Each structure stands twice: as structure tokens, then as C-alpha cells.
């Protein structure tokens, strides 16, 4: 018996991967082409254009990194900082902490501003810090998947830009669910992931770098200490005239991402964002009807990732296990200081729909 033929169909309402869109499944099985085939190269160009459209950027260097969202993070730091560079990381969850670890391993001098998990980055604190010190790069997570907090990019962006630092934004969970406007914000380095609101399996990291970032890359003192993620070579394949081979592109995953972004643009970015917001609001109403509370205050909540406080006396892991076993629904657990204290309920991409919210609430009500 081949186990793959008997996989359960689970409704993925955790922090990602989310449910794969039917069009994406179909795309994954399109015939594999060579990575230098002219037809494949025209698909790459289309994908690049669609990613530029979805992230609102004119950055020439816009393409998917050949790894998951965390590879996007690695690429975002390893290309643009060198040993001794000063970096400020704004931290209010797991992924801010991860950025600090990534940057420190690369020899950067890393400062951080930390905020309570479940609260947003405070722009006033950022402003005060940037008034006293200058940094080569400032990094922030747009959508903190570990807590469900949406950080106020509109307020943080102008502060970082005024400081002269490169501005790095992680929107692994945000892209395709809330607006990502790279050029308006003045973002220099951006990455996302496929397995959240893009409704595509994990494996690629949509990435973009501004001309300013590329200039920094070109003026490095030393080679990028990571051959696989060295943008100075990868751009020759994704954006160069000669399409020089670097590493073999993940062909069929790129088909999947192509379909995922096309589906979003066809529905319309505004409609997709509104759909995420209204699914979120319906979920919150239903959770409150069940007597449950969210971790994050209104106004700072991500629509696609809802951190729900586990009520006193309720078995956190037991409820998740029952949801999976009896209802075929996956929730996420809390991480770090929030382990055992929250459930993370994702309504991402194809799952941000009223019928999914209803099924989720009904099952959760039965499990409580």
C-alpha cells in the first residue's frame, strides 16, 4: 500500500502551510522544462512581472529564491551585510529573533529593540533609537506569524528611510493577504514565502531587492559567503540578458507559484485583501461568541493569523489533537513564551472564505 495514495485531506488552519489552491496543484504537474528553455524563461519573466505587480515595486531584481521563506531571510541578510556591519532588528516574536540569529552568524553587530510578544513594534521607540545611532540595515517582520501581530510598516518605513539604513522587511505571512507596497514604503530588501496567503506549497521565497540594495551588494568588500544564495550571480539567470546558468531552478515549484500569483491577480488584489479581512472578522465574532479572546488588541491584528488565548483549565494540545482527529482541521500551537497559551488559527489564501470560517467555528465549539 502506497502511503501517498492514502493521505488525509486536512483543512490547514495553522500558521502555514495553508491549503494549496486547486489551480496550483494543477500547475505543479505541468511538464517539466529545462531551466534554459525559452518557454520556461518567458514564464520566469511573466512571474517576475506578476510579483512586481503584487508587491508594488519596479525593482528589476524580483524573483523567487530557491528555498522556503527562511532561505529568503538568509538571502536577505547574507547578500547585504558583511562582518562588522551594524544592524538593528525590531523584535516582537519568533521571526524577529530568527533575523537576529541570522545576522549575528554572519558577523554583524546586531542591536535589537524588543517589544512584548503580542504587541506591535512601537514607532516612537524606533524613532528614538534611530536618533541616537546609525545602522547599515534595519530589519522588521511585517506579519509576525508567531503572535498574529501586524507591525505598522506605514509608520516605521519613513523613519528607517530617513535614517539612511537599508530597510529589510519580512512579509512571509503578509504577502497576498494584506497590502505590501515596497516602493511606497521604500523597502530595500524583501522576502516572503509561498505557503501562506499565496496558497502554494512551501519551497520558494518571493524576493525583491532595490537598486540601492544592489549597489550595496556590488560594493561589498568580500564575496557573499554563500554561493547558493549569492544574488550577484543569481540575477544573471533571472534578470540578465544572457540567462547564465547558476543553479537549476526548481521548475515545477515555479509553475506552482506562477499559478498562485496569477490566481490572486485575476481575482484582484483588493478583493483578495478584503476577503482575508472579512474572513478574519467573521472568525473573531464567532470566537467571541464561543467566549474566546484574541491575544492581540484590535487594530494590530493580522487577518490571516489569529492568536487565540486558551481559556483557563482547557487542554491546549488536547483541543488541537481533537480538531485534527475528529474534524480534520489543523491549528497551530504557540511558540516560545506563548507555548501552551494560544492557538494559532490561520485563514490564509484559499482558506480565507466564509464556509471555512463556519467549519472551523463549528468544530472548535464541539471540541471545547
232 binds a copy of itself, rule: CB under 8 A: no
| Segment interacting with a copy of itself (CB under 8 A) among 51-59, 178-186, 208-216, 257-265 | 257-265
76 binds a copy of itself, rule: CB under 8 A: no
Of 69 and 123, nearer to a copy of itself (C-beta) is: 69
Which set of grid coordinates corresponds to residue 185? 514604503
Cα–Cα distance for residue pair 200/278, rounded to 1 Å: 21
Question: Which of positions 288-327 make contact with a copy of itself (CB under 8 A)?
Answer: 324
The answer to whether 63 touches 51, Cβ cutoff 8 Å, is yes
Query: Binding a copy of itself by CB under 8 A: which of 84, 107, 240, 311?
Result: 107
Of 164 and 225, nearer to a copy of itself (C-beta) is: 225
2 binds a copy of itself, rule: CB under 8 A: yes
220 binds a copy of itself, rule: CB under 8 A: no
Cβ partners under 8 Å of residue 133, min gap 6: 86, 88, 111
17 binds a copy of itself, rule: CB under 8 A: yes
Output the CA–CA distances (angstroms, integers) from residue 94 to 18, 48, 265, 291, in the order listed. 19, 29, 30, 27
| Segment interacting with a copy of itself (CB under 8 A) among 123-131, 206-214, 221-229, 290-298 | 221-229
Number of H helices, E strands in the chain: 13, 14
Which residue matches cell numbers 481575482? 267
| Segment interacting with a copy of itself (CB under 8 A) among 12-20, 117-125, 277-285, 294-302 | 12-20
Which set of grid coordinates corresponds to residue 230? 549569492
Of 28 and 239, nearer to a copy of itself (C-beta) is: 28
Query: Binding a copy of itself by CB under 8 A: which of 84, 131, 154, 227?
Result: 227
250 binds a copy of itself, rule: CB under 8 A: yes
For the beta carbon of residue 344, count every other beta carbon within 10 angstroms. Answer: 24
Cβ partners under 8 Å of residue 109, min gap 6: 84, 85, 86, 87
Query: Binding a copy of itself by CB under 8 A: which of 93, 123, 203, 334?
Result: 203
For the beta carbon of residue 303, count every other beta carbon within 10 angstroms. Answer: 26
Q: Is 298 helix (H, G, I), strand (E, B) or coil?
A: coil
Smallest separation, CB 34 to a copy of itself (Å): 5
Question: Which of positions 177-196 make contact with a copy of itself (CB under 8 A)?
Answer: 193, 195
Smallest separation, CB 291 to a copy of itself (Å): 27
144 binds a copy of itself, rule: CB under 8 A: no
Residue 294: DSSP 8-state: B
Cα–Cα distance for residue pair 325/342, rounded to 1 Å: 19
Interface with a copy of itself: number of residues (CB under 8 A): 75
For the beta carbon of residue 256, count every other beta carbon within 10 angstroms. Answer: 28
108 binds a copy of itself, rule: CB under 8 A: no
Cβ partners under 8 Å of residue 327, min gap 6: 11, 359, 363, 366, 367
Query: Binding a copy of itself by CB under 8 A: which of 52, 68, 79, 171?
Result: 68
| Segment interacting with a copy of itself (CB under 8 A) among 149-157, 184-192, 200-208, 304-312 | 200-208
Smallest separation, CB 352 to a copy of itself (Å): 16
The answer to whether 90 touches 139, Cβ cutoff 8 Å, is yes
Amino acid at each position: 500500500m502506497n502511503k501517498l495514495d492514502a493521505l488525509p485531506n486536512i483543512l490547514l488552519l495553522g500558521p502555514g502551510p495553508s491549503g494549496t489552491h486547486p489551480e496550483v496543484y494543477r500547475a505543479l504537474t505541468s511538464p517539466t522544462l529545462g531551466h534554459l528553455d525559452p518557454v520556461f524563461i518567458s514564464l520566469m519573466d511573466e512571474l517576475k512581472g506578476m510579483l512586481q505587480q503584487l508587491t508594488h515595486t519596479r525593482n528589476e531584481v524580483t524573483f523567487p529564491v530557491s528555498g522556503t521563506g527562511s532561505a529568503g531571510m538568509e538571502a536577505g541578510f547574507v547578500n547585504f551585510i558583511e562582518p562588522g556591519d551594524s544592524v538593528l532588528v525590531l523584535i516582537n516574536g519568533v521571526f524577529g529573533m530568527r533575523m537576529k540569529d541570522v545576522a549575528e552568524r554572519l558577523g554583524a553587530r546586531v542591536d535589537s529593540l524588543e517589544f512584548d510578544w503580542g504587541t506591535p513594534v512601537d514607532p516612537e521607540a524606533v524613532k528614538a533609537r534611530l536618533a541616537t545611532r546609525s545602522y547599515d540595515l534595519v530589519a522588521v517582520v511585517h506579519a509576525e506569524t508567531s503572535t498574529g501581530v501586524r507591525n505598522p510598516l506605514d509608520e516605521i518605513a519613513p523613519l528607517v528611510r530617513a535614517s539612511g539604513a537599508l530597510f529589510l522587511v519580512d512579509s512571509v505571512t503578509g504577502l497576498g493577504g494584506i497590502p505590501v507596497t515596497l516602493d511606497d514604503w521604500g523597502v530595500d530588501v524583501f522576502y516572503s514565502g509561498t505557503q501562506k496567503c499565496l496558497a502554494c506549497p512551501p519551497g520558494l521565497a518571493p524576493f525583491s531587492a532595490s537598486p540601492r540594495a544592489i549597489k550595496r551588494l556590488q560594493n561589498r568588500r568580500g564575496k557573499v559567503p554563500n554561493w547558493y544564495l549569492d544574488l550577484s550571480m543569481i540575477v544573471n539567470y533571472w534578470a540578465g540578458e544572457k540567462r547564465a546558468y547558476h543553479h537549476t531552478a526548481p521548475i515545477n515549484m515555479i509553475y506552482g507559484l506562477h499559478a498562485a500569483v496569477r490566481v490572486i491577480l485575476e481575482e484582484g488584489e483588493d478583493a483578495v485583501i478584503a476577503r482575508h479581512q472579512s474572513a478574519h472578522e467573521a472568525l473573531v465574532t464567532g470566537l467571541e461568541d464561543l467566549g474566546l479572546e484574541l491575544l492581540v488588541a484590535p487594530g494590530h491584528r493580522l487577518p490571516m493569523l489569529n492568536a487565540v488565548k486558551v481559556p483557563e483549565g482547557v487542554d491546549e494540545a488536547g483541543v488541537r489533537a481533537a480538531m485534527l482527529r475528529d474534524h480534520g482541521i489543523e491549528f497551530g500551537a504557540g511558540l516560545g513564551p506563548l507555548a501552551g497559551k494560544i492557538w494559532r488559527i490561520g485563514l490564509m489564501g484559499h482558506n480565507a472564505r466564509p464556509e471555512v470560517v463556519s467549519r472551523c467555528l463549528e468544530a472548535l465549539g464541539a471540541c471545547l
